[in-house]
Amino acid sequence: MSKSFKIPLISLRFRIFLSMVILIIATSLLLITISIFQYKNVAKEYNQRQIESMEDYVNKHITYVLSTSPYPLTNDNLKLIFKDKIHEISDIQNTEIQIYSLDGTLIKSSKESFSVEEHSPKVSKFIVRLVNASIEKRFVEVNTINGIKYRSSYSLIKNKKFKPIAILKLPDIPDDGYYEKELNNFLIHLAQVYLLMNAIAFGLAYILSSFITKPIYDFAEKLRETSLNQKNEKIPFSAKIKEINMLLIAYNRMIEELERNAVVLAQNERDLAWREMAKQVAHEIKNPLTPMRLTIQSFQRKFNPEDPNIRPKLNDFAESLIQQIDTMSSVASAFSDFASMPAQQNEMLNVVEVIELTLDIFNEDYIVFECSEQEIISKIDRTQLIRIITNLVKNATQSIPDDQETKMILVTVKKTTDQVIIAIKDNGTGINPIHIENIFEPKFTTKNSGMGLGLGIIKNIIENYNGTITFETKFGRGTIFTVTLPIINT
C-alpha cells in the first residue's frame, strides 16, 4: 500500500538562505569552469606558438642552406645538400629534423641511425594531402604516448621560386606541460580563495535572510496574539521593507474590521441565546403537559364516585399532577433567574419510586415497569430525573404507529456497584440509519411537530452527572435507550 508523500514545510528564512547559497555555489562553479576553459585555450595557443616558432627558425635555416648550396635544388640533390647541414641545424635548434620527398619518402634525418631504405618510415598520403590543402601549407599532428602529449609538425620546403621540393617534419616535440602546471597551481589558489569567500558569503547570506524575515516573524507573533475575545493592538509601520508594510496596513485594517464584527457577533450571540432559551423554556413547559392531559382524560373516563378506592386514586392523581406542575414551576423559575435550566437541586431520593410514579401519568397498559430492587437511593435532582424519564417514554410512545396492533414499552431499572442503569425499550418503527449520527443534535427531529430539543437537553443533563446515554435500534423493529447514572451517595 503506497503512502502519500508529504513535502515538509520550509521556513522563508531557510529558503532565502538556501537560494543565496545555491547562487554562490553556482557562480563559483561557473567562474572555475570558465577559468579552466580559458587556461586550456591559452595552453593550446602557447604550445601552438612554440612549435610554430621552432618551425619558423628551422625553415629560415633550411632556406639559408638551400640559397647557399652549389648543387641544383632537386630531390636527388637534397640528400647531398643536407648531408652535414641537417645535423648542424638539429644541434642549433635542439630538435630532431626529418626531410621527406613530396610523395612522403624519407630523404634525410638528423638521427645517425636513419638511412634511406625501403623499410624507412613514410609520411602518410593523408597527411601529405592535409599539408598541401592547408592555407599555410603546414599541419600539426598531436599524439599521446604514455600520458604525454607529443606534437609533430609538417611543412613544405620551397626553392627560390617558391615551388615545393620537399616536406619538413619536426617529429615528436614533447609538450612541456607548463600551462597545465600553472593551471593546477591556479586552481589550488582559486579553491582556497573561493572557500574563504564562500564561507564569508554563507555567513552574510544567513545574516541577510534573518534580517529580511525578522519583520515577518514579528508579524506572525502579532497574528498569534490576535483573538476575537480581546482588545487587539495595531502594529506601527516600523518595517523598512515595502511589502512588509503592505502586510501591516492590511493587518491593521483587519483589526478594525474585527473589532466591528466582534460587536455585531456579540449582539447576535445574545439574540441567539435568548431565542434558544425561549425555545427550551417552551419545550420544557410543553413537555409535561401531554402526560398531564392524558392523565386527566383517563381519570375523567374512569371516575366512579361509588368506587371504594376512590380516595387513594385521587391522591395518586393529585400527586402525579403536582410533580408535573413542580417541573414547570422549576423551569419558569430558572428562566426568570436567567440561570441554567433548571439549576440542580440534588436530594436523597428513591430512584425506583420516582420513575414508577413518573410512569403512572402515562396511564397506558402497554407501558411496563420492571425492577428487581425495591429501593435505589441516590443523591440526584428529582425534577431532572423526571424530565429524563418523561422525554424518553414520550419519544417511545410516539415511535409506535397508532394502527399497530401490538404495542410494548418496557422500562427496566438495574443497580450495579456504583451505577443505576435505566433502559427504555419499545417495538416502534426504530431509527432510520441515515439519522443515527444526528439523533442527539439540537433542533434535529424526524417528527412533524416539536423543535428537536428533547434528546439534546436530557443528554446534557445526564452528562452533567457524569452519566451516559446510548441506544440500539433496528429500523422497523424498535429501539432501546440506555441511561447510566452514577449513584451519588452522601
The whole-number pLDDT of residue 32 equals 77
Read off the amino acid at residue 351: V
Instruction: Tell me the per-residue pLDDT of 437-449, one tens digit each, with 9 for 90 and over.
Output: 878 776 545 554 3
Distance between CA atoms of residues 87 and 224, nearest Å: 94
Say what angle helices 310-336 and 351-360 make with each other, to 10 degrees. 100
Categorize the per-residue pLDDT at 59 as very low, low, confident or very high, splitting at 50, 70 and 90.
confident
pLDDT of 234 reads 67
Averaged over 401-428, what is the pLDDT? Answer: 91
Cβ contact 430:479 at 8 Å: yes
pLDDT for the residue 452: 42
Report how far residue 390's alpha carbon sits from residue 367's, in angstroms, rounded to the nearest whole number.
12
Structural domains of the chain sorted by starting position, each given as residue range(s) with its CATH number in brackets: 12-182 (3.30.450.20), 226-286 (no CATH), 343-486 (3.30.565.10)
pLDDT in tens, 106-116: 877 777 654 44
DSSP assignment of 115-152: ---TTS----HHHHHHHHHSSSSEEEEEEEETTEEEEE
A 10 A CB-CB count for 131 gives 22
Q: How far is CA 269 from CA 14, 261, 459, in A?
A: 44, 12, 23
Concatenating the DSSP letter of every residue in 239-293 gives -S-HHHHHHHHHHHHHHHHHHHHHHHHHHHHHHHHHHHHHHHHHHHHHTTHHHHH
Grid cell, residue 133, equals: 590543402
Owner of C-alpha cell 619558423: 56
How far apart are alpha carbons 439 and 453 in whole angstroms?
A: 10
Q: Position 326: which residue type?
A: D
Rounded Cα gap, residues 297 and 294, in angstroms = 5
pLDDT of 421 > 90? The answer is yes
Spatial distance between the Cα atoms of 151 and 47, rounded to a whole number of angstroms:
9
pLDDT at 177: 58
Q: Who contacts 334 (Cβ-Cβ below 8 Å, separation ≥6)?
A: 340, 341, 342, 343
For the chain, give the mean pLDDT: 75
Residue of 321, 385, 315, 316 lying closest to 347 (CA atoms): 385
Q: pLDDT tens digit string along 143-194?
A: 776 766 777 778 787 777 777 878 887 776 666 555 566 667 777 877 787 7
Torsion-angle region of 354 (φ positive above 0: left; ψ -120 to 50: alpha; else: beta): alpha
Residue 418 has pLDDT above 80, yes or no: yes
Q: Are 223 and 251 in contact (CB under 8 A)?
A: yes
CA torsion 320→325→330→335, rounded to 10°?
A: 150
pLDDT above 50 (res 338): no
Q: Which carries the bigger pLDDT value, residue 483 or residue 207? A: 483
Largest CA distance in the chain: 177
Estimate to the nearest angstrom the gap between the alpha carbon of 396 and the chain centroid: 50
Q: Is the pLDDT of residue 306 over 70?
A: yes
DSSP 305: T
Confidence band of 337 (pLDDT split at 50, 70, 90): very low
Q: Residue 412: is its pLDDT beyond 90? A: yes
Helices (H), 287-350: 289-302, 310-336
Average pLDDT over residues 267-282: 69
Residue 411, pLDDT score: 94
Q: In this predicted structure, what is the pLDDT of residue 472?
A: 92
User: 86 pLDDT band (50/70/90 cuts)?
Assistant: confident
The whole-angstrom separation of Cα 480 and Cα 7 is: 49
Residue 429 near residue 476 (C-beta atoms within 8 A): yes
User: What share of the chain in percent tops pLDDT 70?
Assistant: 75
Q: CA angle at residue 118 from 116 to 121, to 5 degrees?
A: 70
98: amino acid identity, one letter: Q
Global pTM reads: 0.38
DSSP-derived 3-state class of residue 381: strand
The pLDDT of residue 409 is above 90: yes
